[in-house]
């Protein structure tokens, strides 16, 4: 990843005073410039958003695989939020489930498909932002 902020500092050396036993060098700062690269900021925002979405989808996958209790508030909230993200992909594959005692483990391939599609979209957006960027 490239840096978001670039700092340029120029200094001016006023010379070295070599009179006597002490050697002194005087340097003073002339100017400091800072510039924010908006393309890099946009790239970082897209990657950050993708990371957030991927983490949510990862939570959903793990909760479904381990048969988390959907009546708890955290699990219900995670299913509600990530259900919106996986909804376009829910009917692509069948859902495999196993039941052991009271625990029902579910494998939803649509979660993995959603994660891959969102990663491709983020990659495309980053490439679109950098299409005219000089190396």
pLDDT in tens, 113-133: 999 999 999 999 999 988 876
31 and 47 co-located in one domain: no
The total of structural domains in the chain comes to: 2
pLDDT at 82 over 90: yes
Residue in this structure with the two tokens 């979405």, named with its chain if needed = 53
Report how far apart the first and last C-alpha atoms of the chain are (Å, whole number): 13
32 and 44 co-located in one domain: no
Q: Output phi, psi for 49, to 5 deg.
A: -65, -40
Residue 61 in any domain: the answer is yes
56 and 114 co-located in one domain: yes
Per-residue model confidence as pLDDT tens digits over 11-63:
555 555 555 545 455 556 666 666 678 888 889 999 999 999 999 999 999 99
Domain with 104 in it: 38-129
25 and 68 co-located in one domain: no
pLDDT at 93 over 80: yes
112 and 47 co-located in one domain: yes
CB-based contact 118:92 (threshold 8 Å): no
Q: What is the pTM of this model?
A: 0.69
């Amino acid at each position: 990843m490239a840096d978001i902020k670039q700092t340029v500092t120029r200094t001016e050396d006023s010379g070295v005073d070599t009179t006597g036993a002490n050697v002194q060098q005087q340097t003073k700062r002339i100017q400091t410039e800072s510039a924010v690269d908006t393309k890099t900021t946009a790239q970082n925002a897209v990657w950050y958003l993708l990371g957030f979405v991927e983490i949510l989808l990862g939570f959903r996958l793990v909760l479904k695989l381990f048969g988390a209790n959907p009546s708890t508030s955290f699990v219900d909230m995670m299913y509600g939020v990530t259900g919106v993200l996986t909804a376009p992909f829910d009917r692509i594959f069948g859902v495999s489930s196993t039941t052991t005692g009271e625990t029902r483990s579910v494998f939803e391939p649509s979660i993995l498909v959603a994660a891959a599609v969102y990663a491709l979209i983020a990659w495309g957006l980053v490439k679109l932002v950098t299409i005219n960027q000089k190396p």
